[in-house]
């Protein structure tokens, strides 16, 4: 397949707002691809050249391309800046000036060239990467060149997600979305979008049955619903088990001791490979009596002298590129294991919560459930009535925990699903919203008055509609931040700024920001309560008003979360109903 077919599809998709139509366009291009081409196209559709959990790092910045334009085309800096402003982005400006000659490169040739560019390392690597990029750009058409450049710059942003690819493959195979659930399960178990594409092309839907857990490839984590009291939980699921809720870094730990070399992989909640960040945990996990295993836990920084847990903002400092081992000594962490999805060659996904817990208990004979000095099984208690669970909850709050995660003892592990098999219980104040909401930044408004010099005066946030795979607005945040914080938000937003409203963002015209941002960054927001809104689109239908946050305040960024991990519209609706019920009871 010629890469021009892919580029032309990308160009058409950028003019489409409907997800169904986008899925049809994608189905068309995959229909005519070979299995190997389908794998490459799946990665490139999302702006990658390898699975997201492995990461794609071209390390070529827009400023570097702009400097290269000055050198290549003999343009003064002011003219380059003007050209970028006219074209709307660096990639378009760069390729407009490039001497493109369409040599009809194939998907395979373009993909291999991108792999070659990414692999360049060492002294002067950035300059060499830029030279190789320019050679590639000059060998294709202007349309192809623009999308290639955007992949390298990390600014592809076609307005659809991996879930849209699953819809496209279902349409390709069945003509409709009837295979979506089967495709999604395979992807939830094996989060390699390219591998799924290849299997679909090689073996059709039947091939999905053979996709299973593989140590080293992350599993999409299960998620919990929310309820506001122990009584509500018991009423909902009956007898259950409860574990402390820790405000730390959710980790998926893959250990493979079956070969000559012991292998360790650590993945974050958003499935980023963090294997190099925990040398202290690696040193201790070597002693586990297993052949291979996939564990799930929560890592949290703590004070060794007092044993007290540190805030999430401290824990996240472990996410760094340099001085990892030294910082591990300065900021020790403890990993609390709460689940096991794979053990000695066997998937445990279809085992009950109690059966999976028994496997974990079998790893240790110690009374305190400690596996190593810094790794231990999380505490678990079983309840059949609300009163003792309530007592346990407040005891944990007093010890610095966030609350409880309550689990049905007979529930199976469901990758990538949020349901009432797991329920979060966090501290609530009657009639108010004391829990934080995880929101996605969607754009910002130019500063006025004293904030004119900052260039930002407020920013728009939304929540995730998991049914429609869209982001719906829920608040404008314009107070409670220092000048430094405002500048930080602006810098982050500018990295993901786009010239027009992203196709997955649902927003009323009256709330359009001055600068749109591709949904990328998740932040924790606190508000007094949830209200109904005629403007905000979260949960809005033809018959019902939307939801909005009253007096929203920015609390912190959540770099461990993907946009799809944000609070959902359904959760907001449930929280509104519960808070409204509490207010009614007080009257």
Rounded alpha-carbon distances, angstroms, from residue 511 to 472, 475, 534: 11, 10, 11
**DSSP state letters, 473-542:** EEEEE-SS--HHHHHHHHHHHHHTEESS--TTEE--GGG--SEEE-S--EEEEE-SEEEEESS--TT--S
| Interacting residues of 236 by C-beta distance below 8 A, sequence separation 6+ | 227, 420, 423
Dist. CA 277–CA 281, nearest whole Å: 9
R_g (Cα) of the chain, nearest Å: 25
Q: Is 271 left (phi over 0), alpha (psi -120 to 50) or beta?
A: left
Please provide residue 232's backbone torsions phi and psi, each rounded to the nearest 5 degrees: -65, -35
Nearest to 494 by CA among 126, 61, 76: 61
Which residues participate in catalysis according to the annotation?
Answer: 245
Burial class (CB in 10 A: 0-12, 13-18, 19+), 495: middle
Q: b/e for 377-393, b at 16 or more Cβ within 10 A?
A: bbebeebeebeebbebb
Dist. CA 175–CA 342, nearest whole Å: 35
Dist. CA 195–CA 17, nearest whole Å: 27
Q: What is the separation of C-alpha 52 from the centre of its chain, rounded to a whole number of angstroms? A: 10
| Interacting residues of 202 by C-beta distance below 8 A, sequence separation 6+ | 35
Query: Integer distance in angstroms from the first to the last C-alpha of the chain?
Result: 68
Please provide residue 218's backbone torsions phi and psi, each rounded to the nearest 5 degrees: -65, 155
Tokens of 482: 């220092």
């Amino acid at each position: 397949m010629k890469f021009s077919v892919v580029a032309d599809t990308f160009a058409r998709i950028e003019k489409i707002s409907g997800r169904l139509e986008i899925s049809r366009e994608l189905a068309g291009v995959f229909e005519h691809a070979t299995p190997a081409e389908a794998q490459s196209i799946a990665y490139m559709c999302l702006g990658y050249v390898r699975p997201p959990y492995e990461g794609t790092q071209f390390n070529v910045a827009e400023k570097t391309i702009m400097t290269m334009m000055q050198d290549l085309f003999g343009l003064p800096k002011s003219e380059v800046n003007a050209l970028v402003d006219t074209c709307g982005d660096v990639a378009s400006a760069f390729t407009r000036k490039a001497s493109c000659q369409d040599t009809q490169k194939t998907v395979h040739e373009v993909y291999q060239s991108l792999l070659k560019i990414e692999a360049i390392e060492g002294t002067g690597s950035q300059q060499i990467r830029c030279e190789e990029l320019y050679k590639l750009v000059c060998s294709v058409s202007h349309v192809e060149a623009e999308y290639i450049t955007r992949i390298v710059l990390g600014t592809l942003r076609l307005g659809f997600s991996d879930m849209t690819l699953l819809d496209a493959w279902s349409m390709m195979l069945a003509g409709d979305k009837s295979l979506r659930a089967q495709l999604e399960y395979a992807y939830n178990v094996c989060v390699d979008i390219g591998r799924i594409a290849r299997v679909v092309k090689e073996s059709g839907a039947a091939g999905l049955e053979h996709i299973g857990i593989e140590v080293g490839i992350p599993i999409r984590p299960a998620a919990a619903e929310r309820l506001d009291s122990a009584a509500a939980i018991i009423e909902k699921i009956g007898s259950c088990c409860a574990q402390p809720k820790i405000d730390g870094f959710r980790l998926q730990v893959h250990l493979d001791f079956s070969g000559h070399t012991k292998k360790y992989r650590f993945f974050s909640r958003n499935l980023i490979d963090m294997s190099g960040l925990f040398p202290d945990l690696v040193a201790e996990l070597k002693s586990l009596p297993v052949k291979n295993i996939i564990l799930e836990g929560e890592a949290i920084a703590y004070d060794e002298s007092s044993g007290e847990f540190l805030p999430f903002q401290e824990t996240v400092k472990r996410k760094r590129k340099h001085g990892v081992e030294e910082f591990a000594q300065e900021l020790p962490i403890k990993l609390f294991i709460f689940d096991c999805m794979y053990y000695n060659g066997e998937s445990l996904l279809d085992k009950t919560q109690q059966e999976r817990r028994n496997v974990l208990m079998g790893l240790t004979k110690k009374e305190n459930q400690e596996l190593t000095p810094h790794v231990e099984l999380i505490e678990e208690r079983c309840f059949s009535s609300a009163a003792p669970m309530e007592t346990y909850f407040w005891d944990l709050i007093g010890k610095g925990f966030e609350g409880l995660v309550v689990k049905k003892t007979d529930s199976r592990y469901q990758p990538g699903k949020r349901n009432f098999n797991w329920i979060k219980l966090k501290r609530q104040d009657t009639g108010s919203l004391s829990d934080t909401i995880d929101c996605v930044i969607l754009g910002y408004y130019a500063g006025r008055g004293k904030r004119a010099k900052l260039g930002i005066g407020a920013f728009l946030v939304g929540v995730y509609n998991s049914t429609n795979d869209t982001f719906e607005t829920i608040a404008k945040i314009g107070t409670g931040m220092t000048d430094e914080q405002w500048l930080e938000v602006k810098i982050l937003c500018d990295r993901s700024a786009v010239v027009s409203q992203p196709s997955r963002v649902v927003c009323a015209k009256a709330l359009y920001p001055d600068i749109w941002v591709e949904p990328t960054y998740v932040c924790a927001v606190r508000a007094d309560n949830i209200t109904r809104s005629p403007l905000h689109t979260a949960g809005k239908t033809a018959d019902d008003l939307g939801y909005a946050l009253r007096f929203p305040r920015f609390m912190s960024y959540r770099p461990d979360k993907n946009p799809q991990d944000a609070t959902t519209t359904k959760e907001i609706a449930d929280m509104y109903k519960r808070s409204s019920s509490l207010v009614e009871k007080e009257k």
